[in-house]
Structure 1
Amino acid sequence: MSCITWLGPFDLLNQNRYFGGWPSAGTGRHDVAMAFPVEGWQSSAAVLLRQRADGGIDGTVAGTPDPDAAFRQALAVLSLDVDGTGYPEVGRADPAIGGLQRDHNYLRPVLFHSPYEAACAFVLGHRLRIAQGRAIRQRIAERHGDQITVAGVRLHSFPTPQRLLELHTVPGVSEEKMRRLHGIARAALDGDLDRRRLRELPAVEALGQVRRLRGIGEFFAAGIVLRGAGVVDAVPDERITRTGIERLYQLPSEPDRARIEAITASWRPYRMWCAVLLQLSERRRPSKVHGGRTARTQDTVRLGGSGDGSGAAG
């Protein structure tokens, strides 16, 4: 059993409300179970996280000889490896952000289990509906990953990079996607997709490194760095963020990059956390409809140009 009294506001029930889908041990939504290859790639683990009445987080780990590493990785999935004590202060300094924080109960981003799994998910889901991509990943986990039971919950982890390299055909996955997955697996084994390393690199360098992977363009690279590594102090340059800032700050038009940098300076060092709140708020608003059809825009996602990409990892 591992435990943490995290730094800053956090509510696991609230995380489940917005980013649900985790299995439970049957004790209610105050616990979540997850399984994944442990970074370092020597084993896989299943972790049950439970929030105590005093707010602390307990973790039960199974399946790995390194339970501490697995527990830390599970905390990272919930952005609990980051010191969030200064997060409320951002809202006090910027009332617009403060309103979003209170509306969402100081929600933190939920990440992929690792940048490796994020990259695999983006490749597998390319040109598929979200549900299709998830179903393929689940089938791969069930057939080729490790089966682990924690607190009575049976889970399947996605295959380790070593195991993925042994697979040459997977139903529903093209030959080209398999080549891309093998490239991701080799990069993970070489340490190029290590979460801590990507967080510590300057943003431009982290993106450039990820973009060297076969089939990974600018959009997927930003997703791997932001949603896989979990860079904390960066602003995604995408339409939903721009329109959200325009609405939140009652601007006369969509802001350019320089204006966004100036406005979001007050969000530091939690700019990505604030951006996630903004995006959630925007997605709850009615879509614009033109001629009976919902307007959709293909965005290019980039990290904020002035950030160093180091985040606020604790």
Structure 2
Amino acid sequence: MTTHGFALTAEGLFDFGASLRFVEDWPATSALPSDGQALRFAYCAESDWLPIGVTVTAAPGGVAVATTRAAGPRIRDEVARTLSLDVDGTGFAELGEADPVLGDLQRRSPGLRPVCFWSPWEAACWAVIVQRSSMLIAARLKQRIAERYGAKVIVDGRAYSAFPPPVTLLEAGGLGLPAQKEEWLRGLARAALDGVLTTEHLRALGPEEALAELRALPGVGPFSAGLILIRGAGAPDAFPGDEPRLFAILREVYGLPEDAPPAAYRRLSEEWRPYRSWASFLFRASTYGVMDDRKRTPH
């Protein structure tokens, strides 16, 4: 099979090995086959909603990417966003110098950048599927939908199921989810087809405006809106307005009181501009084991 290749260069510190370790430990992607050397996946490209297979490996100064079909600038941008290589990260280390707590996380996993969903559309679907469910169960349900309704793409000799595009999910029969969730997913499919759930649209808005627009979508609350904007569209400088898990981590490491209001967390995050999303990601990633030194093997 013919493959097409291109390179992505990182501006600022970046460690592809750290990204791989996160993918292996994050429940949403832990089922992806891994050999510790490459990230392989299939998805429906946001630029045309057609399936594409991707292989990413380490390269000097960034990564090398091979795709199963020709990759124009928009697909290159999508792959770059997945690994947060579309953002100049040269100033991120300076935040850790000013904030010793954040600096400790940066030293424990140097070069780890946010790893995003393949598209805001997939992030939105995940946000609905995972509600009132464990991430491991949600991952299985999402994979089941991909295998039933998604295209099969051969990546390096192995078949990968791409999560179906909005139009397919809109027309699909039963998805094996509660009726309310299926209704929400179809509402999200309509929003994606209208151009609302796209990286270009969401990143063109200010973070607060984008979060407000996302909260107006079916089944999307404050937590889900933050997930879609930060881990779907890859917005580098947004702070979720209501994320209990993140707030619990911040309370512990910064010694905030149990009854600290949301405004206290927002004030804390102001020190992380213009990388509020990146800093928040590191705190969440610290709970997945990706920063365990025993996993720090060279790639």
| Shorter-chain TM-score tier | 0.7 to 0.9
2:81 is equivalent to residue 71 of structure 1 = no
8 Å CA contact 1:47, 1:71 repeated in 2: no
* Structure 1 counterpart of 2:8, one-letter code: I
8 Å CA contact 1:41, 1:189 repeated in 2: no
2:48 is equivalent to residue 41 of structure 1 = yes
User: For 1:31 and 1:249, how far apart are their aligned partners in 2?
Assistant: 36
SS of the aligned residue for 1:208 comes to: helix
Q: Relative to structure 1, is the Cα distance of residues 260 and 43 closer, same or farther in structure 2, using a 3 angstrom cutoff?
A: same
In the TM superposition, 1:142-161 aligns within 5 A as: 142-161=147-166
8 Å CA contact 1:46, 1:149 repeated in 2: yes
2:58 is equivalent to residue 51 of structure 1 = yes
Q: Relative to structure 1, is the Cα distance of residues 130 and 278 closer, same or farther in structure 2, using a 3 angstrom cutoff?
A: closer
* Percent of residue pairs identical: 37
SS of the aligned residue for 1:199 comes to: helix
In the TM superposition, 1:1-314 aligns within 5 A as: 1-20=5-24, 21=30, 22-24=32-34, 28-52=35-59, 54-63=60-69, 65-170=70-175, 172-236=176-240, 237-250=242-255, 255-281=260-286
User: For 1:213 and 1:83, how far apart are their aligned partners in 2?
Assistant: 31
User: For 1:267 and 1:124, how far apart are their aligned partners in 2?
Assistant: 30
User: For 1:265 and 1:220, how far apart are their aligned partners in 2?
Assistant: 21
8 Å CA contact 1:118, 1:224 repeated in 2: yes
User: For 1:175 and 1:257, how far apart are their aligned partners in 2?
Assistant: 32
Q: If the length of structure 1 is used for normalisation, what is the TM-score?
A: 0.79
8 Å CA contact 1:110, 1:227 repeated in 2: yes
Aligned length: 278
User: For 1:9 and 1:184, how far apart are their aligned partners in 2?
Assistant: 35
Which aligned runs of 4 or more in structure 1 are off by greater than 6 angstroms? none
